Amino acid sequence: MTPSHPARTAELPLFRRFPALHRVARVSLGTFPSPVMQVDGLPDAQPVWIKRDDLNAARVGGNKVRSLEFLLAHVRAGETVLTLGGEGSTHVLMTALLAGTLGARTAAVLWRHEMNASARAVLARTRRECDVLMTRSNPVSAMVAAWWRGRTAACSIPVGGATPTGMLGHVNAALELAEQVASGALPAPRSVVLPLGSGGTAAGLALGFAIAGLDATVTGVRVAPRIGSNHWRVMQLVRSCGDLITRLAGERVTRVDPQHVRVVHTAFGGAYGRMLPAAHDAAVALESRTDIHLDDTYSAKAWLAALHEEAPVLFWLTFDGRILSA
């Protein structure tokens, strides 16, 4: 089915709901709202709605566009942005790509992990796009190196861009989806499924759905080690972003029911970056029917879980296959 492109809005739903947030700096990097589409006819699976965040920017899209609009807002040409992540991190690559459009340089610290074909392609392009690239053996040593290097950077962005300010982009995404539901573009989803890594996207969506009054459960499919990717972490991020909005807007925001955030651990596969054969096969089946290409680190695992959720289910596509192109 062809994606349904709603009319483009002149103002973000986040700013319409909280006018005081206009004072939060933001640089326009994407085109919103991203469309929705329904996919049916998949083997042994119910129809699934897809939020096409891979189409939220002209060059390369994905969920990181939304957070980086806020996180890169103060960056100027010639300055250096520092960030970090695993060798196959799409966040690191998207930071380099989007910072580059602003004329800024990117320094990144990576850590080694198990790799698949998609992750190797991401790493190859990351090496081309970053101005300075350092690799460490594990996340702890990478964080130490990033802290040391970050003292001289104009902008330092943590793993995944999961900060209260960055999450404003995902709160807006949830309000955007609620408007699409209200317009009849898709039914109200029972579950919204997406990969769960650093947690910023899941937390922002959960908070946004609560603010919009959309009774949907955010189902995060864990793709990273449990120590940093879990229910407690997501709820902590929800509270921090809610506190930020309360402070800036001068009004308390709706609290998120912890039961409206669910973490699926069964698709992890045992290691960050490890391909899960069943998820890979499900991604191949999706690509045979659509123009959607999923990666084996993040989106394929979440897609596999979405196929087994109770309808109506929405799969939030956070990965843009164009990121793998030179």
Tell me how far apart the alpha carbons of residues 89 and 176 are, in angstroms, rounded to a whole number. Answer: 26
Look up residue 207 and give its two tokens: 């908070």
CA torsion angle for 119, 235, 177, 251 (degrees, to 10)? -140
Q: Of 36, 90, 85, nearest to 62 (Cα)? A: 90
What is residue 43's three-state secondary structure?
Answer: coil
Domains of the chain with CATH codes: 13-63+162-324 (3.40.50.1100), 66-160 (3.40.50.1100)
Look up residue 91 and give its two tokens: 């966040």
Tell me how far apart the alpha carbons of residues 90 and 310 are, in angstroms, rounded to a whole number. Answer: 29
Quick check: 88 and 115 in contact, CB under 8 A?
yes
Place of tokens 């806020």: 70
What average pLDDT does the segment 318-325 reach? 92
pLDDT digits (tens, 9 = 90+) for 33-86: 999 999 987 777 788 999 999 999 998 999 999 999 999 999 999 999 999 999
Look up residue 136 and give its two tokens: 């460490």
pLDDT digits (tens, 9 = 90+) for 252-262: 999 999 999 99
pLDDT digits (tens, 9 = 90+) for 195-247: 999 999 999 999 999 999 999 999 999 999 999 999 999 999 999 999 999 99
pLDDT digits (tens, 9 = 90+) for 86-97: 999 999 999 999
Q: What is the pTM of this model?
A: 0.95
